[in-house]
Amino acid sequence: MRVFHDTWLVFRRSLGLTVRQPAWLVAGVMQPFVYLLLFGPLLNSLSSMPGFPAGGAFNTFVPGLLVMTALFGSTFVGFGFISEMRSGVIERMRVTPMSRTAAVLGRTLRDVLVFMFQGMVLVVLSIPLGLHIDPAGLVVAFALLALIGLVLGPVSYAMALVIGSEDALAPLTQAIALPLLLLSGIMLPMSFAPEWLRTIASFNPLYHSVLAIRALFNAQFADPNVLSGIGIMVACAVLSIGVASRVFNRATA
Amino acid sequence: MSDLVIETEGLRRTFGKKGDIVEAVAGVDLRVEAGTIFGFLGPNGAGKTTTLRILATLLLPTAGIARVAGRDVARDPEAVRRRIGYVAQSGGTDPRMSGRGELVMQGRLFGLPGPDAHVRAAELLEALDLADAGDRPIETYSGGMRRRLDVGLGMVHRPVVLFLDEPTTGLDPQARARMWDEIRGLRDGGTTVFLTTHYLDEADALCDRLAIIDHGRIVAGGTGPELKRAVAGDVITIGVDSSAELVRQLLAAQPFVREASLVDGVVRLYVADGEASLPLVLRLLDGQGLAPQTLALHRPSLDDVFLRQTGRSLRDAA
């Protein structure tokens, strides 16, 4: 099928270009690592408070940091795409029979691979600090992270294609990413939040992902948050890829 | 009668919203025969690139029909894309990629299996004299090398028509001559080349047929010699420091002058026989005590063609 063939081509090309600049891989790990080192200890003393989720500070905090890595690893990808637009690469490829969906999917899969690698580094670094993980839970948790990338990446690429300039894309991306981040219970557990804030958070798909990953790390596969977290993300990914494909197809006249 | 590779009828494209509409292409009819170099000449902003982008399936026309390689660009863009190559004015390569990497990628996007795409890339690198630079990042290429690679990318799948948007803009004279040779080579190999340019000498030297466009409309079309012949006769230019309008009026009234115009302080006369007219012009000006600073006789150029049709010099407009 053309779409798989072309997705693979775009994926390989963009991964090759990313690997040539390993600084980005390191930069992506730095931020969550700083949180881990400087913010994690604060949570450690909170973890004995009533209402704190089970599993201890790092089992609560690291899932949040992983979701944050996925969030930043896929909401800002549009900027790289704009520089590709500027170089004329995107237009050149539009005058080929290339699948338009592949243009989005190939790049998104590259982004997913990059932040999963960063996430894995983060997990390994967290184990000596007190993270306990169930191996099977880890695998499912990373599958869920990949889904987050498939939801957010296509949105970022479609916005970049339509907007076409960094100046306009930056504030819009911030306006989307920041509430998603704050309403996902990444920094502090949402169980500390007042009722109304929790209600709003429940509309944030990422909030459910964080809950699901926490349960998975603690090997609580039967926790209803696991199924709902994954189900919500699958639905969002289908929607997001569908919409982005439409945007790319239409822009191509 | 050769086959028509590009055919448009009443092609229009407008930009903007209600109340503020710009008509970039205002009814263009084109017929381009197979195996020719067709030049689209006009000043910047005349609608050249917009027309090219419609023909290359990057823009939908607001009205009118365009058929490229036998397919309708609006109804069957996918089929058109398989048959055309397109090289944008700014190129289309990632500076971090190697020339070979881009050529292979392009081949594979057109459905060539991996090994075939590599063979074709090597072939093109060789033909474009880029073999030594093939594995270096494109950011290390000179302007001329980059441009040749752009053309190579357009040729990977052996298209019927190759569209080149301003192929030599920004190139030094040597690289430019080199590019002309490449383009002639493509034509001789059977590819139809459709290029835009705002260089008169390029249109004159390189193109088999031309269409001159201004404000979204084609103002003249044909071969270079045909276009110049249509201007008829020769051109005399007279530089005067003062009373230029007086000189123009005086000469315009003479029976041997077909047309006299004044552009930037230079009076241009269109006459049937330049050699015979020069002494007459001198005598007339002398009689009025008007001394010209410069006086020159030329065979008509494409600029005269443009000037006759639009009242502006292409050199100034571009």
- The string of DSSP codes covering B198-224 is --HHHHHHH-SEEEEEETTEEEEEE-H
Residue A144 has pLDDT above 80, yes or no: yes
C-beta of residue A108 within 8 angstroms of C-beta of residue A81: no
Q: Is B170 in CB contact (< 8 Å) with chain A?
A: no
Smallest Cβ–Cβ distance between A88 and the set B56, B77, B88 belongs to B88
Residue B61 has pLDDT above 80, yes or no: yes
Residue B1 has pLDDT above 60, yes or no: no
C-beta of residue B291 within 8 angstroms of C-beta of residue B297: no
**Are B96 and A20 an interchain contact pair (Cβ–Cβ within 8 Å)?**
yes
Which residue is listed with tokens 């089970």? A54
Q: How far is CA A70 from CA A147, B31, B269, in A?
A: 9, 53, 72
Smallest Cβ–Cβ distance between A95 and the set B86, B91, B111 belongs to B86
Please name every residue paired with B9 in a beta bridge, in sequence order, or none if there are none. B65
Alpha-carbon distance of A55 to A124, in angstroms, equals: 17
Q: What is the pLDDT of residues A221-244, one digit of tens each?
A: 999 999 999 999 999 999 999 999
Give backbone dihedrals phi and psi of B290, rounded to 5 degrees, phi first: -100, 120
Q: What is the pLDDT of residues A166-176, one digit of tens each?
A: 999 999 999 99
Average pLDDT over every residue of B177-196: 94
Q: Is B129 in CB contact (< 8 Å) with chain A?
A: no
Q: What is the total count of domains within chain A?
A: 1
- Determine the pLDDT at residue B2: 57
C-beta of residue B172 within 8 angstroms of C-beta of residue B152: no
**Are B108 and A93 an interchain contact pair (Cβ–Cβ within 8 Å)?**
no
Interface test with B, best of A10, A96, A110, A250 (most B CBs within 10 A): A96
Domains along chain B with CATH numbers: 4-228 (3.40.50.300), 233-299 (3.30.70.920)
Alpha-carbon distance of A214 to A16, in angstroms, equals: 33
Chain mean pLDDT for chain A: 90
Domain of A196 in residue numbering reads as 2-251
C-beta of residue B231 within 8 angstroms of C-beta of residue B308: yes
Average pLDDT over every residue of B289-303: 83
pLDDT higher at A151 or A35: A151
- Determine the pLDDT at residue A208: 93
C-beta of residue A149 within 8 angstroms of C-beta of residue A75: no
Alpha-carbon distance of B36 to B160, in angstroms, equals: 11
- Determine the pLDDT at residue B232: 63
Average pLDDT over every residue of A35-45: 80
Query: What is the crossing angle of helices A100-126 and A135-163, to 10°?
Result: 140
- Determine the pLDDT at residue B88: 93
C-beta of residue A186 within 8 angstroms of C-beta of residue A65: yes
Would you tell me how many other CB atoms lie within 10 Å of the CB of residue A2? Answer: 13
**Are A96 and B93 an interchain contact pair (Cβ–Cβ within 8 Å)?**
no
Tell me the percentage of chain B whose pLDDT exceeds 70. 97
Alpha-carbon distance of A210 to B85, in angstroms, equals: 48
Please choose, from the candidates A122, A112, A117, A118, the residue with its C-alpha nearest in 3D space to the C-alpha of residue A33: A122
Chain B residue numbers touching A11 (CB-CB < 8 A)? none
Question: Which of A236-245, B182-191, B300-309 shows the lowest per-residue confidence on average (mean pLDDT)?
Answer: B300-309
pTM: 0.84
**Are B94 and A98 an interchain contact pair (Cβ–Cβ within 8 Å)?**
no
Assign B44 to helix, strand or coil.
coil
- Determine the pLDDT at residue A253: 43
**Are B95 and A13 an interchain contact pair (Cβ–Cβ within 8 Å)?**
no
Q: What is the pLDDT of residues B137-183, one digit of tens each?
A: 999 999 999 999 999 999 999 999 999 999 998 889 998 999 999 99
Q: Which residues does A193 contact at the CB level (< 8 Å), separation at least 6? A: A185, A201
Q: What is the pLDDT of residues B84-95, one digit of tens each?
A: 999 999 899 999
- Determine the pLDDT at residue B317: 59
Residue A252 has pLDDT above 60, yes or no: no
pLDDT higher at A188 or B155: B155
Residue B197 has pLDDT above 70, yes or no: yes
Average pLDDT over every residue of B287-291: 83
**Are A6 and B109 an interchain contact pair (Cβ–Cβ within 8 Å)?**
yes
Average pLDDT over every residue of B272-296: 85
Question: Which of A217-221, B85-89, B288-292 shows the lowest per-residue confidence on average (mean pLDDT)?
Answer: B288-292
Residue B260 has pLDDT above 90, yes or no: no
**Are B109 and A87 an interchain contact pair (Cβ–Cβ within 8 Å)?**
no
Smallest Cβ–Cβ distance between A253 and the set B60, B82, B106 belongs to B60
